[in-house]
Amino acid sequence: MLISTLVICFRITQCCFVCFQDEGIHMFSIGVGLTNLDEIYAIASEPHRQNTILVDSFQDLPTVSSRLVSAICEGTAKTSPLAGLA
């Protein structure tokens, strides 16, 4: 699922993703060129920072894509496979 939070109100976004997480869906978030990180962290499952990837531009996405695919395919453990990418 790809969500553009530029179009969605922060409160609605936060509410929806909390509901998804309550249902056991593990959420990763990717922020591109962001300065305000509140919303992107709210999307990610806890621990929020370990389940969030931050990059400066869309051109930087290939540098994190293989690790993201591994995290998704392997499932999640108590510590996120994305730790250290933020």
Q: What secondary structure does DSSP assign to 8-76, as a single string?
A: S-HHHHHHHHHHHHHTT----EEEES-S--HHHHHHSPSSGGGGEEEESSGGGTHHHHHHHHHHHHH--
Residue 33 has pLDDT above 70, yes or no: yes
The range of the structural domain enclosing residue 42 comes to: 10-74
5 in a structural domain: no
Asked whether residue 81 is domain-assigned, the answer is no
pTM of the model: 0.64
Q: Would you place residue 10 in the very low, low, confident or very high pLDDT band (cuts 50, 70, 90)?
A: low
Would 2 be classed as within a structural domain?
Answer: no
pLDDT tens-digit profile of 39-55?
888 888 888 888 888 99
Q: Is residue 83 part of a domain?
A: no
Total count of domains within the chain:
1
Tell me, yes or no, whether 3 lies in a domain. no
